[in-house]
Structure 1
Amino acid sequence: MILDPVHVAGAGMIRFGKHPAETTLETMGAQAATAAMRDAGVRAADVEALYVGHVFGGPVAGQRIGARIGLAGKPVSNHENYCSSGATALREAWIAVGAGLYDLVLVVGVEKMTDRVKGGVQPDPNDLDASIGFLFAAGHALSARRYMADYGATREQIAAVAVKNHAHSVANPYAQYQKPVSLGEVLGARPIAEPLGLLDCSPISDGAAAVVVASRAGLRRLGIRSAPRVAACALVSGTVQAGLGDVNEEDISRRAGAEAYRIAGVAADEIDVVEMHDCFTIAEIVRLEGLGVLPRGEGARLTEAGYTSLGGALPVNPSGGLLSRGHPVGATGAAQVCELFWQLTGRAGGRQVEGATTGLAYCKGGSVSGTDGASVTTVILTT
């Protein structure tokens, strides 16, 4: 696959959290889109297409947002890939711009969950796992138990993911939670699915994030001399599993990482910063290992030792991640790319990873009974 260079020219977000009922999905999407356009210096008339990722937004949510920001009549497409929806929308924009179809497009990830989701997010009711009550929290609790048994990891080491990510989010004005939590608070939180408690789980959130995607000609039109390049945007889906298998094998993460490294022409050890889909504390650990950026079985120990903290060898989730920045599912992939854009342009403030030139964002969306997942996107940005 040979594509022309594709860049992120601007980024915009609103603060994630629990927004009042009168703050609609369309309002949030329009606010994030307007912020990204302002950041890039692009007018609505210059935007050639709109790509929108959402899960619970209803029919033609992208067109409803586009009409509010002056994009009525432009090509608009809507993308649902569960938690990977925002990054899947980016991938389609990356392909279109790289193929020379457009020079300037807008990507929006958006979700209003608090008035649509009660309790935990569940698989489709027709899914076999859902029918027997094997929900996401239960699956990740099983993962944690297995990981502790296989590698001698402790409950405290797994909880350290939440402590780290909440500490990072203190410096993120867009995060749902902006205060640290102690190890004792994580361990003493209300049980959800043993051994995981409330602070091991990402919250139900509302929010929106957006980026302007540009070709080299598009950058010239905007008067931008340089901008982070989308070096890769990979998408894989789960393969059918036979037998019991290993719950922490993470073959889907390995394949997604390998595809992104191949497209970008980089190795796992060249990544400077990671935005990881930490829907649960254990998920950050096993998925980092699946990507090959941490040795298998060592992720929990390295987290506790500060390896993945700001100032460590490989900072992970300087934004606070899903655990603390929040997880409005359709918006998460776009928010991760916003964070990488700010990191690679030196605009991340108190959470800046010094010297970062290559960043990776990972999203895993949903589950399908009998497979090792539904969708995984891996995005690599470089300077």
Structure 2
Amino acid sequence: MSVIKLSELRPVYVVGVGLHRYQRATETSFVDLALSAIRAALTDAGIAWTEVEAAYTSSTRLGMAVSQPILRHLGVTGIPTTQVENASASGSSAFRLAVRDVAAGFADVALASGVDKVAPGVRAETLTGVHGYDEGVVVPPIHFALLAEEYLRTCNATTEDMARVAVKNHANGAKNPFAQRQKERSLEEIVEDRPIAGVLTRLECCPVGEGAAAAILVSGEALDRLGISRDRAVRVLSTAQHSEELYGTRSYDAELTRLTTADALQDAGIRPDQLDVVELHDAFAIEELQYIEAMGLCPEGQAPHRLRDGEFAIGGRVAVSPSGGLLAMGHPIGPTGVGQIVEITKQLRGESGARQQPDAIYGLAHLVGLGAVCLAHVLAAPGR
């Protein structure tokens, strides 16, 4: 079966991005959170709301019909709106759908946004009437703690090696005014913090709070028609999505990542070693080590050593999670995937200030969602 790739369709550009800070639960309504991010994205793009022709809103804990209570405050324009839920990959999925709309010519200007508040979440799997062997005991922290034990043993690495992921990402988050955690942490602080599961401590697990993110996508035709400068238009080179298969005894999170990122990179026409910025799903510190290797950023078993040498720090060979990642930027779930696009867009424009990766040309955003699904997007700096 022949599958159309994004590279075969018309070019798509990110021209406006916006965020509301990720934070602990507050009394702020989800409407205000989302409007803050969307208005910032419109201002960044320099366009009016009336130019937007399609909108995708990602959320996981706000109930049905999230888009209209938000968007009606911008103007009731009658455009198609769609709510997207795909667990942790919800924002990534909303972005992918908006990209495909513009690439295929269904819209010239599209909005991808995400918003969530702190609230109970319900896994549909728990409502099927079919009970797993673990009876719900293996929750995400335990799952990743078991993976961490296996990885550290197999790679002859230490808990300090894994904790360096959190040291790096907390340091990055301290430079990010939109991050939930904005404090640098020492290796000792992280290793000796309150244990959550196995070798994972609290500071090696992401905080789940509230927040919002937005991105405006346009076609090349819209760039010219709306007078948007190409000097700040970041091109979307590819978008890939896969769901879990059978991988034997290997980590399905890592194997799913390997396939999805390879697909995205191939469609983009670049190699892993050409990436300058990567935002990945580091909900737990062990994930960054696994995914760095699965993406081909370094050989299997080498991530701890390369991390120690500074290869994945800002200013290193490739900046991994310069936003602070999920560990420090936070993981409000609905906005997270769009928030990654915000960070990469700013990096590729050279607008990230103290977090700027020098001469960034190519960036990759990656998220894994419960279920499991995985999405990866490759973006290129203006003019590429």
Cross-structure match for 1:250 = 254
Query: 1:1-383 alignment to 2 at 5 Å?
Result: 1=4, 2-21=8-27, 23-113=28-118, 115-116=119-120, 124-126=125-127, 128=132, 131-226=135-230, 227-242=233-248, 245-247=249-251, 250-367=254-371, 374-383=372-381
TM-score w.r.t. length of structure 2? 0.93
Q: Secondary structure of the residue that 1:380 maps to in structure 2?
A: strand
Aligned partners of 1:249, 1:204: CA distance in 2, in Å?
Answer: 20
Unaligned runs of 5+ in 2: none
Deviation for aligned residue 1:19: 3.7
How has the CA–CA distance of structure 1 residues 105 and 129 changed in structure 2, closer, same or farther, with 3 Å as cutoff? farther
Deviation for aligned residue 1:262: 1.9
CA contact (8 A) 2:253 2:368 kept: no
Q: Secondary structure of the residue that 1:109 maps to in structure 2?
A: strand
Q: Which amino acid aligns with 2:151?
A: Y
Q: Secondary structure of the residue that 1:145 maps to in structure 2?
A: helix
Aligned partners of 1:13, 1:187: CA distance in 2, in Å?
Answer: 31
Aligned partners of 2:56, 2:284: CA distance in 1, in Å?
Answer: 28
Q: Which amino acid aligns with 1:177?
A: R
Q: Which amino acid aligns with 1:133?
A: V
How has the CA–CA distance of structure 1 residues 53 and 249 changed in structure 2, closer, same or farther, with 3 Å as cutoff? closer
Q: Which amino acid aligns with 2:55?
A: L
Equivalent pairs counted in the alignment come to: 370
Q: Secondary structure of the residue that 1:15 maps to in structure 2?
A: strand
Deviation for aligned residue 1:298: 0.9
Aligned partners of 1:37, 1:45: CA distance in 2, in Å?
Answer: 10
Aligned partners of 2:284, 2:64: CA distance in 1, in Å?
Answer: 30
1:223-272 deviations in whole A, cap 9, x for unaligned?
22311101011111101355xx1237821011101110121111111111
Q: Secondary structure of the residue that 2:126 maps to in structure 1?
A: coil
How has the CA–CA distance of structure 1 residues 122 and 101 changed in structure 2, closer, same or farther, with 3 Å as cutoff? closer
Aligned partners of 1:83, 1:35: CA distance in 2, in Å?
Answer: 23
Unaligned runs of 5+ in 1: 368-373
Aligned partners of 1:326, 1:124: CA distance in 2, in Å?
Answer: 25
Deviation for aligned residue 1:111: 1.1
Q: Secondary structure of the residue that 2:206 maps to in structure 1?
A: coil
1:188-228 deviations in whole A, cap 9, x for unaligned?
11111010010110002101000000001111133223111
How has the CA–CA distance of structure 1 residues 158 and 285 changed in structure 2, closer, same or farther, with 3 Å as cutoff? same
Cross-structure match for 1:371 = none
Aligned partners of 2:57, 2:275: CA distance in 1, in Å?
Answer: 27
Q: Which amino acid aligns with 2:56?
A: Y
CA contact (8 A) 1:123 1:366 kept: no
Aligned partners of 1:208, 1:332: CA distance in 2, in Å?
Answer: 8
Deviation for aligned residue 1:20: 1.4
Q: Which amino acid aligns with 2:256?
A: I
Q: Which amino acid aligns with 1:85?
A: S
Deviation for aligned residue 1:131: 2.6
How has the CA–CA distance of structure 1 residues 249 and 137 changed in structure 2, closer, same or farther, with 3 Å as cutoff? closer
How has the CA–CA distance of structure 1 residues 42 and 128 changed in structure 2, closer, same or farther, with 3 Å as cutoff? farther
Deviation for aligned residue 1:312: 1.2
Cross-structure match for 1:370 = none
Q: Secondary structure of the residue that 2:335 maps to in structure 1?
A: helix
